[in-house]
């Protein structure tokens, strides 16, 4: 057993302990605490990223094969680490103007990171459920973090009730699998499925597991919670939820579908395209009538899940590498967008789209970044979002899913309407206030980096694509 393989995870745990200790030690000294905390958080993220890169090519398993390390997991771990860095910066600007104390907030964010790491490395249903619940419980706390804000409480409550239901279904599925296969280890369960692909209980169990994961990625018909939760939760949490939680859901889906359920491939190919279609339509048409930006982002994230599910239905190396590329592009785009929202929100004091009137004048920088991110989200070349959509749709056409690709293509035109509507408000409408919005240097740096990433990933597709292809190889 080579525990050095888990170097990034050890660092995550170490930082978690350090963070807890310092929080207890410096509980009275707010200013010193904040400084130390920032150093620990960003230093910790940098060292995690370094450790991930250092172990990037390695594969192996630890803890009796319940946890595996491979480039597929590393791809997602890097994604989570990068996303958390952006989310922490967003949280700093978000809480600056708010009365809440943030001691537990960053701690819980970090626990969620640990959960994500465990989730994408799991090779056993028990470890998988442990990782998933660590993440989900953290998000229950995070979404309801603004104790005095009824919207936040409501969103936390909704997420908690529906999330527990999804978890319950999932864990029941796992118990059924254990009942038939006699084991929770992925390889053993895979054998059970291969031996009896028509086994009724196994198929029912697989459906339950998939339902639990579809809840996470907001696939139809498990998407109803998304707009409500997005609307009320603190903005940085929404960003983390929409980027990291969705990516983790897809990582788990890919891992389980391709390493545990491959025997069911013929069956799921009948279902997934329909799910993808409905998710796509629900998200894009739902977004058309929204008047609140975060709620609109909820619908748009359902729409994006639709494209990701198209890639999932295609399967194979081309479909899955397109999926990973799309996720990376989606992460860059969404983080840039939420970064802009977080920086503007304290000044606008409202989540309504019409509050963004005149942002182009009040802060050309923020409006510019959001314009770019909205275009990328809609899939306009030469931005990251376009390359993602191009790869997904090309893979779909190659796999003869023509009708699905056609709907996917047409949804681009629909989505452009509601994205451009935000641009219209930001640039064309006059604001009732003229005072400019100041953006702190760190946020500026983050948004500039993300924008550069959106452009770079859109123009030079090859590096990200080959990285995704390399990661996907380990699923087959």
Partner 1 sequence: MIAFLPWIPLAAALVVLFSSAKNERFLKTITLTACSLCSVSVFIYFLNFKPEGGFQFVTARPWLPAFGIQYKSGFDGINLTLCLLHALVSLAGAFVACAPKERLKEYLFYYLILTGGIYGVFTSLDLFFLYVFFEMTLIPLFPMIGIWGSKNKEYGAMKLTLFITTGAVLAFFGLLLFYREAGIHSFDLVQLAQVLKARGGFSIGFQHFVAPMLIVGFGVIASLWPVHSWSPIGYAAAPTAVSMLHAGVLKKMGPYLILRVAVTFLPEGVKHAAPWLSVLAGIGIVYAGLAAIRQSDMKYMVGFSSVSHMGYVLLGIAAMNSVSLSGTVLLMFSHGVMAACAFAAIGFLYEHTHVRNLHDFGGLAKSMPFVALSLILACLASLGLPGFSNFVSELLVFIGAWRQFPAVVIAAVFGVLITAIYLLRAVREVCYGKPNPRWAHLKDAQGFAERFPFILLLGALLIAGIWPHVLLRVIEPAVGALLS
Residue identified by tokens 């807890």 is: 20
Of 18, 37, 149, 41, residue with least CA distance to 103: 37
Point out which span in 178-186, 270-278, 331-339, 401-409 binds partner 1 (CB under 8 A). Answer: 401-409
User: What's the CA gap between 313 and 401, in Å, rounded?
Assistant: 9
- 291 contacts partner 1 (rule: CB under 8 A): no
User: What's the CA gap between 410 and 401, in Å, rounded?
Assistant: 15
Determine contact, residues 253/213, Cβ cutoff 8 Å. yes
User: What's the CA gap between 37 and 32, in Å, rounded?
Assistant: 8
- 326-365 footprint of partner 1 as x/- string (CB under 8 A): ----------------------------------x---x-
- 60 contacts partner 1 (rule: CB under 8 A): no
Q: Which is nearer to partner 1, 117 or 386 (CB)?
A: 386
Q: Which is nearer to partner 1, 149 or 429 (CB)?
A: 429
Buried b (16+ CB within 10 A) or exposed e, 124-146: bbebbbbbbbbbbbbbbbbbbbb
- 393 contacts partner 1 (rule: CB under 8 A): yes
- 213 contacts partner 1 (rule: CB under 8 A): no
Which tokens in the block code for residue 441?
């240097």
| Pairing assessment for the beta strands 60-62 and 67-69 based on DSSP bridges | antiparallel
Among 165, 382, 431, 456, binds partner 1 (CB under 8 A): 382
Point out which span in 11-19, 46-54, 252-260, 387-395 binds partner 1 (CB under 8 A). Answer: 387-395
Determine contact, residues 74/114, Cβ cutoff 8 Å. no
- 432-461 footprint of partner 1 as x/- string (CB under 8 A): -----------------------------x
Point out which span in 5-13, 307-315, 350-358, 409-417 binds partner 1 (CB under 8 A). Answer: 409-417
CB within 8 Å of 4: residues ≥ 6 apart = none
| Residue 392 CB, nearest approach to partner 1 (Å) | 11
| Residue 424 CB, nearest approach to partner 1 (Å) | 6
Determine contact, residues 106/45, Cβ cutoff 8 Å. no
Q: Which residues bind partner 1 (CB under 8 A)?
A: 360, 364, 371, 375, 380-382, 386, 390, 393-394, 397-398, 402, 405-406, 409-410, 412-413, 416-417, 420-421, 423-424, 427-428, 461-462, 465-466, 469
């Amino acid at each position: 057993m080579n525990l050095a393989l888990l170097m990034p995870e050890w660092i995550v745990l170490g930082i978690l302990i350090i963070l807890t200790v310092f929080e207890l030690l410096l509980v009275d000294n707010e200013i010193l605490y904040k400084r130390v905390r920032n150093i620990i958080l960003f230093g910790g993220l940098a060292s995690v990223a370094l450790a991930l890169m250092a172990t990037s090519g390695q594969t192996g398993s630890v803890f009796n094969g319940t946890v595996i390390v491979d480039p597929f997991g590393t791809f997602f771990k890097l994604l989570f680490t990068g996303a958390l860095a952006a989310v922490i910066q967003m949280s700093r600007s978000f809480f600056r103007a708010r009365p809440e104390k943030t001691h537990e907030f960053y701690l819980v964010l970090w626990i969620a990171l640990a959960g994500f790491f465990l989730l994408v490395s799991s090779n056993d249903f028990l470890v998988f459920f442990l990782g998933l619940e660590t993440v989900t419980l953290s998000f229950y706390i995070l979404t309801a973090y603004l104790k005095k804000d009824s919207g936040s409480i409501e969103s936390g409550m909704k997420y908690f009730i529906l999330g527990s239901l999804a978890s319950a279904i999932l864990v029941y599925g796992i118990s059924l699998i254990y009942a038939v296969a006699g084991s929770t280890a992925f390889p053993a369960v895979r054998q059970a499925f291969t031996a009896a692909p028509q086994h009724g209980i196994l198929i029912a169990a697989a459906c339950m597991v998939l339902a639990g994961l579809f809840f996470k990625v907001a696939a139809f018909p498990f998407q109803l919670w998304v707009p409500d939760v997005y609307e009320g939760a603190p903005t940085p949490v929404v960003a983390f939820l929409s980027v990291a939680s969705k990516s983790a859901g897809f990582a788990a889906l890919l891992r389980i579908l391709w390493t545990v359920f491959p025997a069911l491939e013929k069956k799921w190919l009948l279902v997934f395209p329909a799910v993808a279609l409905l998710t796509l339509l629900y998200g894009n048409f739902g977004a058309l009538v929204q008047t609140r930006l975060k709620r609109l982002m909820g619908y748009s994230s359902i729409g994006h899940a639709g494209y990701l599910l198209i890639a999932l239905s295609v399967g194979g190396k081309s479909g899955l590498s397109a999926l990973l590329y799309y996720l990376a592009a989606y992460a860059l785009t969404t983080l840039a967008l939420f970064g802009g929202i977080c920086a503007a929100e304290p000044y606008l004091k409202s989540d309504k789209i019409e509050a963004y009137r005149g942002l182009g004048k009040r802060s050309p920088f923020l409006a510019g970044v959001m314009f770019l991110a909205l275009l990328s989200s809609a899939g306009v070349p030469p931005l990251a979002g376009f390359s993602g959509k191009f790869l997904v749709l090309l893979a779909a056409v190659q796999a003869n899913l023509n009708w699905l690709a056609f709907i996917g293509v047409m949804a681009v035109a629909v989505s452009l309407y509601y994205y451009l509507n935000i641009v219209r408000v930001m640039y064309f409408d006059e604001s009732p206030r003229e005072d400019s919005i100041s953006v702190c240097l760190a946020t500026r740096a983050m948004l500039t980096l993300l924008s550069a990433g959106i452009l770079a990933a859109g123009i030079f597709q090859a590096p990200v694509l080959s990285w995704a292809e390399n990661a996907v190889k380990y699923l087959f």
